[in-house]
Structure 1
Amino acid sequence: MLTSTHQTVMHSYPGLVALVTAKSGDTQNIMAAGWHSYISFTPPIYGVAVAEERFTHHLIKASGSFAINFVPAEYARYIDGAGKETGADGDKFKRLGISWKKGETIDAPILTEAYVAYECKVMDINRYGDHDWIVGEMTRFHRDEDVFGPDRLPDFEKVNLPLYLGRSKYLVADRHTSVVEMPYKREK
């Protein structure tokens, strides 16, 4: 039974955590973001919530761009490390052992271990409470074709997805995960 409370109840997990990368000048950073979303298919637009005090926020504002990266479960340590370390202490990529390449349309790093990554140019930034919602036009897409089936869904024989539960814990969607189709049928 549901009970009422005045305390904030946040329930958005389990979910994929995006690794947000940005670079301005010679400074680059990576952060973990649980609050992110597609906004539009045509044109392709993506948004992410980033608190202004985050080091990555300043790099995104200065460069006008960012990248969204998704890594398989075997690299969940990147998510954990990117969320716990600060870029103000130096290069997180070196400290976490993350390999990357430069984006094609932006300077932000694209993780070489990512199975999907998006390059985004900032379109808009708006403050909502304690976070800014940063909206980007998606300018380039990267996808590891080997991990997707003919239906364009991840093939769990080839990739394990880390679904974040909170507090450094993950539910791993892998070959043992049941994929169940539940089509809607209108009742008469």
Structure 2
Amino acid sequence: MLKSTDQTVMHSYPGLVALITAKHEHTQNIMAAGWHSYISFDPPIYGVAVAEERFTHHLMKASGSFAVNFVPAEFAAYIDGAGKHTGKDGDKFKALGIGWKPAETVDAPILKEAYAAYECSIIDINRYGDHDWFVGKMTRFHRDDSKFGPDRLPDFERIKLPLYLGRSQYLIADESTSILKLKK
């Protein structure tokens, strides 16, 4: 039975974690973000919640841009490492062995192992409680076509999605995962 409480109930799992990258001058960083979302399709706009104490927050604010990267389950260690370590201690890309290339329209790294990535130019930042919501106009899109079907949705026979359950645990969505298809 559902019980009423005045204590915060955090229920957003399982969830697809995005790897947020940012660069300002000669410093770059990567962080794991569970709170992120599309905001608009036309024009394409994406948002991510980042706490001010995060190293990436300052890079995003200074550069006015960020990138959103999604990696398959075989690179879940990137998500875990990006969430557990701070950029204040040095280059997380080197420490975690993450390959990247420069974005085309913003100053942020794009992960070589990503199956999808978005370049975002910041158009708004608002504080909500203990996080800032960074809103970015999506300026370039990257997609590994070998991981997607003709409907432009992930092909679970070719990609395994790491859905975060908390405490370094992941549910892997792949061809063996049960899919409920409702009639149209």
TM over 0.5: yes
**CA RMSD, aligned part only?**
0.8
Note if 1:137 corresponds to 2:118.
Answer: no
1:159 positional shift: 0.6
Q: Structure 1 segments of 4 or more deviating over 4 A?
A: none
The CA distance in 1 between the partners of 2:15 and 2:183, in whole Å, is 22
Task: Name the structure 2 match of 1:106.
Answer: 106
Aligned residues: 184
Q: Which runs of 5+ in 1 are unaligned?
A: none
Q: In structure 2, what is the Cα distance between the partners aligned to 1:35 and 1:183?
A: 30
TM-score normalised by L of structure 1: 0.96
Residue 175 of structure 1: how far off its partner (Å): 1.4
SS in 1 for 2:163: strand
Q: Quick one: distance in 2 between partners of 1:98 and 1:84?
A: 15
> Take 2:180 and 2:112, find their aligned partners in 1: how far apart are those partners?
31
Give how far 1:91 is off.
0.2
Largest Rg, 1 or 2 = 1
Alpha-carbon shift at residue 152 of structure 1 (Å) = 1.4
- Match of 2:73? 73
Q: What TM-score do you get using the length of structure 2 for normalisation?
A: 0.98
What per-residue deviation string (whole Å, max 9, x for no partner) do you get for residues 69-96 of structure 1? 0000000000000000000001000000
What SS does the corresponding residue of 1:77 show, helix, strand or coil? helix
- State percent identity of aligned pairs: 78
Q: Distance in 2 between matches of 1:120 and 1:183?
A: 36
Unaligned runs of 5+ in 2: none
Q: CA deviation at 1:151?
A: 1.5
Q: Which amino acid aligns with 1:33?
A: A
Written as runs of structure 1 = structure 2, the 5 A alignment for 1:52-71 is: 52-71=52-71
